[in-house]
Amino acid sequence: MTEPAVLPAPRTRRRWWLLLLILPALFVAFWVYSSFAAQQRLARAIAETDRLDPHWRLDDLQAERPVVPDEENAALLGIAARKKLPPNWNPLTQADKFKVFALKPNQAPTAQQAAGLRDALEPGAAALPEARRLADQPRGRWPAGANAFDILEVARLLTADAELRRAEGDLDGALASCRAIVNCGRSVGDEPRMMPQLMRLAAGAIAAGQAERVLGQGQPSEISLTALQDLLAEEGQAPLMTLALRGERASSDHLLESVQRGETPVKQLVASFSGGATSRFSFKRADLFYLPGAVAISRAAMLERMNKLVEASKLPPEQQSAPLAELVAWRKDESPLVLLITTPEVLTTYLLEARGIQARLRCAAAGLAVERYRRKNGRWPEELSELKDEFLLEVPADPFDGKPLRYYKIDEGTVVYSVGPDRKDDLTAAWKGAGICFRLWNVDRRRQPPLSPAPESRP
């Protein structure tokens, strides 16, 4: 009896079995290769960072920060002053009702406006003694967990105080309040984070603007002028953005390393880089972190981009534009995951803002030197180079083009100014206060009456 012939298995069935065997092998190979490639890229990024900045890690940054004794710590004074302020209180809002800050720097406030300023400051009177002591405390270090945003609260108090002293003719006291504003910002010290350093710069810009208003009212003493000039000049040269970017790089790497080790959940990572957002868009990005080598690649990309930002921040300000433009241009080729961590538009915007404030600080420091020259010689200098050695160590460079700051004499006084982001040399705009500038009026043009009647009534 013949046995029935064994029919061969259909080809399609064999293909399916073959596919079922190959797919897992390919998946494993992909996973292994992706993880290996990511680790290799991360190793190269870490090695490059070590080469550029041997002490770049967060622990290193914290270890190299100097200890500030309590008796010299401006942060403790700022915190003490903030605790005595009423909640949700802003004296500048009250002052705005009397259009005090609408006056030109060389216009004298009316008696009603001065009275309005006194009323506006009354709720913060208990905080003023500590706040004013900041004038002689240029060093600071904020305690762990303290809210550095309190700087702005105290700076507003001191701004209103400087304006009231200006209105009452206490010009040396007003410049002391300006120094206190600068030191309010300096109280964060070398905090390796972006926002505290931006607030430090903002405080310096406020003080520079207020100093112009003070000099519009009369002639402060040489001692007061020199003390504020030295402080503003130092702030105008301080590498605060390099400090901040080094801190941002170290903090981001510390967090990503924690995620890589499984110590920090992925959702916490996404919340850290997206401002705590829990939108669907954020969670779609969070899913990407579960791909093989994703965290290592993101960590490497973050270090690569931040290294370039840190190095760009070390260049003279006028040379930073080209490398920053390149950093923004690469974003179109990067994944959303990398963009979540390295936000080039935000960081480059911060650097541009910092450059503008740096220019403002330099203009103010040079302007104070010009006033000191006038007091000694009875005339304005013909150019800033006349101030070298005695009143200025060097003529400050404009952070936007690297050339010396512009200086001109006009009929009403003088002005020191920067060409600004558009690099347009516009003397007319500068004298109107439309640009980055510091104006000085001839003595007979200071403390002029307001051009229009001020409000006579109080709310």
Residues 6 or more apart whose CB falls under 8 angstroms from that of 190 comprise: 65, 66, 141, 243
Taking alpha carbons only, the member of 125, 18, 46 closest to residue 296 is 46
For 143-166, the three-class secondary structure string (H helix, E strand, C coil) is: CCCCCCCHHHHHHHHHHHHHHHHH
Q: Output the pTM of the full model.
A: 0.87
Burial class of residue 353 (count of CB atoms within 10 Å of its CB; 0-12, 13-18, 19+): middle
For the chain, the three-class secondary structure string (H helix, E strand, C coil) is: CCCCCCCCCCHHHHHHHHHHHHHHHHHHHHHHHHHHHHHHHHHHHHHHHHHHCCCCCHHHHHHCCCCCCHHHCHHHHHHHHHHCCCCCCCHHHHHHCCCCCCCCCCECCCHHHHHHHHHHHHHHHHHHHHHHHHHHCCCCCCCCCCCCCHHHHHHHHHHHHHHHHHHCCCHHHHHHHHHHHHHHHHCCCCCCCHHHHHHHHHHHHHHHHHHHHHHCCCCCCHHHHHHHHHHHHHHHHCCHHHHHHHHHHHHHHHHHHHHHCCCCCHHHHHHHHCCCCCCHHHHHHHHHCCCCCHHHHHHHHHHHHHHHHHHHHHCCHHHCHHHHHHHHHHHHHCCHHHHHHCCHHHHHHHHHHHHHHHHHHHHHHHHHHHHHHHHHHCCCCCCHHHHECCCECCCCECCCCCCECEEEECCCEEEEECCCCCCCCCHHHHHCCCCCEEEEECHHHCCECCCCCCCCCCC
pLDDT band at 80 (very low <50, low <70, confident <90, very high): very high
**Mean of pLDDT over the chain:** 86
Taking CA atoms, 162 is separated from 62, 178, 179, 226, in Å, by 35, 7, 10, 17
Beta bridge partners of 417: 406, 437
pLDDT band at 448 (very low <50, low <70, confident <90, very high): very high
Does pLDDT of 455 surpass 50? no
Q: What is the pLDDT of residues 373-414, one digit of tens each?
A: 999 999 999 999 999 999 999 999 999 999 999 999 999 999
Residues belonging to the chain: 459
Does pLDDT of 14 surpass 80? no
C-alpha to C-alpha distance for 284 and 336, rounded to whole angstroms: 10
What the block records as the tokens of 240 is 């605060």
Q: What is the pLDDT of residues 148-167, one digit of tens each?
A: 778 889 999 999 999 999 99
Q: What is the pLDDT of residues 274-314, one digit of tens each?
A: 554 444 444 455 556 666 678 888 889 889 988 998 999 99
pLDDT of residue 320: 86
C-alpha to C-alpha distance for 102 and 272, rounded to whole angstroms: 40
Taking CA atoms, 193 is separated from 118, 231, 240, 242, in Å, by 36, 22, 10, 10
In contact, 361 and 208? CB cutoff 8 Å: yes
Give φ, ψ of 67 to 5 degrees.
-80, 135
Taking alpha carbons only, the member of 235, 248, 137 closest to residue 191 is 248
Taking alpha carbons only, the member of 320, 370, 375, 376 closest to residue 349 is 320
In contact, 407 and 416? CB cutoff 8 Å: yes
Taking alpha carbons only, the member of 440, 422, 438 closest to residue 359 is 438
Burial class of residue 456 (count of CB atoms within 10 Å of its CB; 0-12, 13-18, 19+): exposed
Taking alpha carbons only, the member of 399, 411, 457, 438 closest to residue 216 is 438
What is the arithmetic mean of pLDDT over 161-181? 97
Taking alpha carbons only, the member of 199, 200, 240, 232 closest to residue 215 is 232
Tell me which long-range contacts 80-84 makes (C-beta under 8 A, separation of at least 24).
Answer: 80/130, 81/127, 81/128, 81/130, 81/131, 81/134, 81/154, 81/157, 82/127, 82/150, 82/153, 82/154, 83/127, 84/124, 84/126, 84/127, 84/130
In contact, 314 and 331? CB cutoff 8 Å: no
The residue among 39 and 266 whose pLDDT is bigger is 39
Q: What is the pLDDT of residues 188-221, one digit of tens each?
A: 999 998 889 999 999 999 999 999 999 999 999 9
Q: What is the pLDDT of residues 86-117, one digit of tens each?
A: 988 889 888 888 888 889 999 999 999 999 99
